Amino acid sequence: MFVRNAVAITGLLASLSNALPAKRAVDAGNARLVIYWGAEDDSTTLSDVCSDDSYGIVNLAFLNRFFAAGGWPEISMSGLDNSSDAQQSAGATGLKDGSGIVDAIKQCQSAGKLVILSLGGADADVTLQSDSDGEKIADTLWNLFGGGTENAELRPFGDVKLDGFDLDNESGDSTGYLAMTQRFRSNFQSDTSKTYYLTAAPQCPFPDASEPLDVCKELDYVWVQFYNNGDCNIAQSDFKNSVQTWSSGIGNATLFIGALASGADGDQGYVDADTLVSSLQDVKNMNLPNYGGAMLWEAQLAVKNGNFQKQIAAGL
């Protein structure tokens, strides 16, 4: 995506609280609204998003480089301060002090919303050279954001554990990604205190070279970007056929329809709220076994577009 669009339907499923730490299927009768936050400026704060009942999942955008200064990842996200003293001492100057949004993350999680870190973005460098690289970055991210315990002084959000990782690889190169997702799964099993999730946002032309089907089948949720891609965009000639193909191709993962919350950010394929709600109803009428809702790009864009997210949530 250019910057992501995440639409999905209200409320987290009851199954989220008692799901196992392996791949989970979702009751398609309970749809949700997913949103990306952090890629625009911070006039719409994470706390604002966490207070909005429209959303069930919040993707933090983005961790945009896997191997930056000192061999550590880099984060580009609203609301973060400069690198902490510990991060600077380690040479990890691409990491940031995220203490300013820790309370908002806790607010989201206390409200039953998942908070997931998105890896990538349109201008990111999240390519891998090998399976070994994939396993290495999975371990690094697990320690920095999940239930890992190494290098605790470098964690951007302190002792807060995020709820998982979202793959937004748009490079066209999936080298190492299957190994990375499998290592994430292994790491998730080591922390029984909570459930972790893996998600992705492939482009709607099927299959997506950046996030191929063997990777998608390892995931819990797949929010396909049905925008910026011509005929498979929402309400276009190949939209419903593309939805059916994706539904059939991602195994037990749950499918979300990714849409733009505004046409103001340079992306192509925005549709107004009435058209989007109608298209989502068409998808619901397809009776897909793994339909979960919608994903919107992006929180601030939605607010500036007349609180677009509330129109979608109400329509769903």
Q: Is residue 101 part of a domain?
A: yes
pTM (two decimals): 0.91
> Which domain CATH number covers 22?
3.20.20.80
Q: Is residue 112 part of a domain?
A: yes
- The answer for 219, left when phi > 0, alpha when psi is -120 to 50, beta otherwise, is beta
Those residues of the chain that have pLDDT short of 70 are 1-31
Q: Is residue 8 part of a domain?
A: no
Asked if residues 12 and 75 have their Cβ atoms less than 8 Å apart, the reply is no
Q: Is residue 2 part of a domain?
A: no
| Beta-bridge partner residues of 204 | none
> Mind listing the pLDDT tens digit for each residue in 211-249?
999 999 999 999 999 999 999 999 999 999 999 999 999
Domain with 232, as residue range(s), is 14-315
Token pair listed for 108: 């989201």
* pLDDT reported for residue 1: 56
Query: Is 242 strand, coil or helix?
Result: helix
3-state SS string over 16-45? HCCCCCCCCCCCCCCCEEEEEECCCCCCCC
Q: Is residue 7 part of a domain?
A: no
Q: Is residue 3 part of a domain?
A: no
> Mind listing the pLDDT tens digit for each residue in 259-294?
999 999 899 999 999 999 999 999 999 999 999 999
Q: Does the annotation mark 170 as catalytic?
A: yes
Burial of 27 (0-12, 13-18, 19+ CB in 10 A): exposed
Inter-CA distances, 164 with 37, 56, 58, 199, 277, Å: 15, 14, 11, 8, 28
Burial 79-99 (b: 16+ CB within 10 A, else e): bbeebbeebeebebebbbbbe
Helices (H), the chain: 46-50, 85-89, 102-110, 131-145, 177-189, 213-216, 239-249, 273-285, 299-304, 308-315
Q: Is residue 190 part of a domain?
A: yes
Distance separating alpha carbons of residues 66 and 127, to the nearest angstrom: 8
Asked if residues 195 and 16 have their Cβ atoms less than 8 Å apart, the reply is yes
Distance separating alpha carbons of residues 61 and 39, to the nearest angstrom: 5
* pLDDT reported for residue 21: 38
* pLDDT reported for residue 307: 98
Distance separating alpha carbons of residues 8 and 54, to the nearest angstrom: 9
Number of domains in the chain: 1
Q: Is residue 1 part of a domain?
A: no
For the chain, give percent helix, strand, coil, nearest 5: 35, 20, 50
Inter-CA distances, 70 with 90, 94, 95, 99, 272, Å: 7, 9, 10, 22, 45
* pLDDT reported for residue 31: 47
Token pair listed for 265: 């950010």
Catalytic residue of the set 40, 74, 170, 211: 170
* pLDDT reported for residue 35: 98
Distance separating alpha carbons of residues 300 and 118, to the nearest angstrom: 17
